[in-house]
Amino acid sequence: MTAHDPSPHHLQLTRDGQLRHFLTLDGLDRDLLTDILDTADSFIEVGERTIKKVPLLRGRTVVNLFFESSTRTRSTFELAAKRLSADVLNLDISTSATSKGESLSDTLLNLEAMASDMFVVRHSQSGAPHFIAESVTPGVAIINAGDGRHAHPTQAMLDMLTIRQHKQRFEGLKVAIVGDVLHSRVARSQIRALNVLGAEEVRVIAPGTLLPKDVESLGCTVEYDMEKGMKDLDVVIMLRLQKERMEGALLPSEREFYRLYGLNREKLALAHPECIVMHPGPINRGVEIESAVADGPQSVILNQVTNGIAIRMAVMSMAMGGQVAERQRQQAKGAKA
């Protein structure tokens, strides 16, 4: 037996297919994504009880390792860990000038010395959570809370949970993702999840300057004209305009962007009458979305926040469960040998 799994996809799965890290949706099949959604459904019920806590991660330590700040994501991860009865340590580490690999390794060594069981990692560098998962002590689970332009798998899964709650299925659904796809790690994860779960069509609607090259290869169709793109939609996911990530003039102006790609009542009326409106937040009102739409009857934006806690509880308990089960198997094997 070698120390390393041959396939990088297996980094996040145990030998019998249980989750042990949650880094990306790549390589995860429909059954596993469905298990995550089903488990999250059970955690939603927990959130409705008098005591919103279960003892699954009691006595374990979860470290929120945020190299890039994000109040909402961090606080929902924190609440999720606490509802699983874990002890939580929040570390906001601004990315320093030191070389990434070295500073990460040193930070990790220190945190492992505190007997942490799970790191929730957010980093501006794509691949940082993978790097940590490869080098971390066996038994410690890594959850990706957003890395660079690469992935934001828990956000994508909470969006899938929200869609399933409102539409009960993925088959036959037409879903559009609108806006700044280029800078969006969420969009990549969403396109992947929608395809795996069986949506009929995933459409991206954006100006060419805010689309990555070969975007169709991710598994979507492209529409530059939003009014055409809204036709027959069951779900419209608005992306936040990531002004802080813009380098140079990719946009004529915010006002121009809103006129062409902002979601207002008139454009929404072109979609299916029961089309739901989603947005990962924080909302730039009047830039991506009109207030009357964000707060309107078709908006499920606040459901997304509630579902975010349940999804994070699900992946944290599943990954931790995979780690402990794997360790047990190895110990059993060691005892036999």
Partner 1 sequence: MTAQLDINQLLDELETGLRRILEERGVTEPAIIGIRTGGVWLADVLSKRLGIDQAFGELDISFYRDDFSRIGLNPKVKPSSLPFDTEGRDIILIDDVIMSGRTIRAAMNEIFDYGRPASIILATLIDLGARELPIQPDVAGRVLSLAAHQRVKLRGPDPLRIELQETGQ
The residue ranges that bind partner 1 (CB under 8 A) are 18, 35, 38-39, 41-42, 44-46, 49-51, 53-56, 317-318, 320-325, 328
Taking alpha carbons only, the member of 177, 219, 178, 229 closest to residue 198 is 219
Q: Tell how strand 141-147 and strand 174-178 pair up.
A: unpaired
Cα-trace Rg, the chain: 20
- Spatial distance between the Cα atoms of 163 and 244, rounded to a whole number of angstroms: 28
Cβ closest to partner 1, residue 184 vs residue 323: 323
Cβ closest to partner 1, residue 268 vs residue 318: 318
Output the smallest distance, CB 158 to partner 1, in A: 17
Taking alpha carbons only, the member of 202, 259, 196 closest to residue 236 is 202
Output the smallest distance, CB 317 to partner 1, in A: 5
- Spatial distance between the Cα atoms of 96 and 102, rounded to a whole number of angstroms: 11
Cβ closest to partner 1, residue 189 vs residue 323: 323
Output the smallest distance, CB 121 to partner 1, in A: 21
Output the smallest distance, CB 189 to partner 1, in A: 21
Output the smallest distance, CB 33 to partner 1, in A: 12
- Spatial distance between the Cα atoms of 266 and 263, rounded to a whole number of angstroms: 8
- Spatial distance between the Cα atoms of 249 and 61, rounded to a whole number of angstroms: 44
Cβ closest to partner 1, residue 37 vs residue 199: 37
Output the smallest distance, CB 328 to partner 1, in A: 5
Q: Which residue has the tokens 């459409």?
A: 203
87 class by beta-carbon count within 10 Å (0-12 exposed, 13-18 middle, 19+ buried): middle
Cβ closest to partner 1, residue 45 vs residue 171: 45
Cβ closest to partner 1, residue 202 vs residue 318: 318
